[in-house]
C-alpha cells in the first residue's frame, strides 16, 4: 500500500482536488483489503470443513471396521445380497485394510503436493 502511495506522490496525477483523490484511493484500497479478508476467511472455513469431514469419515470407517471384526454374521440358508457382501468383506479383511492404507498414503501425497504448490 505504501508503494502505491509513493508512486502516486512521485507522479503527481492531475486531479482537481488532491485531498479528495487520496481519500477515494484509500477507500478503494480499504475495500480491497476487506475483500482479501473475506476470501481468506472463506478459505479458512473451507479447510475447517474439510478437516471435520475427514475426521468424521475416519471415525465412521473405524467404527464400521470394528463392527465387522467383532460381530461376524451367522449365515443361514436363505442368505441375501447384504449378507453375501458382509461375508465377502469378512473374508477379505486384509484387502480392506490395504485399500484404506493406500488411500491414506494417497491423501498424504496429494496434501503435500498441494501444500508445495501454495508455497
- Write the pLDDT tens digit of every residue in 15-58: 566 677 778 888 888 888 888 999 899 889 888 988 899 899 89
Q: For residue 76, how many other CB atoms are within 10 A of its CB? A: 8
- 84: Cα separation from own chain's centroid: 36
Residue-wise pLDDT tens digits, 63-117: 988 888 887 766 565 667 777 777 787 888 888 888 888 988 888 888 888 877 7
Q: Which DSSP symbol is given to 78?
A: T
Whole-structure pTM value: 0.43
Give the Cα separation of 65 and 52 in Å (integer): 20
Angle ∠(94,97,99) on CA atoms, nearest 5: 110
Amino acid at each position: 500500500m505504501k508503494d502505491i502511495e509513493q508512486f502516486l506522490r512521485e507522479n503527481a496525477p492531475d486531479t482537481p482536488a488532491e485531498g479528495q483523490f487520496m481519500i477515494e484511493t484509500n477507500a478503494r484500497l480499504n475495500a480491497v483489503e476487506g475483500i482479501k479478508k473475506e476470501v481468506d476467511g472463506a478459505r479458512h472455513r473451507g479447510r475447517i470443513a474439510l478437516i471435520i469431514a475427514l475426521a468424521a469419515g475416519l471415525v465412521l470407517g473405524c467404527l464400521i471396521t470394528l463392527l465387522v471384526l467383532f460381530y461376524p454374521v451367522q449365515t443361514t440358508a436363505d442368505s441375501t445380497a447384504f449378507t453375501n457382501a458382509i461375508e465377502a468383506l469378512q473374508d477379505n479383511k486384509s484387502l480392506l485394510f490395504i485399500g484404506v492404507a493406500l488411500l491414506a498414503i494417497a491423501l498424504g501425497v496429494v496434501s503435500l503436493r498441494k501444500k508445495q504448490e501454495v508455497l
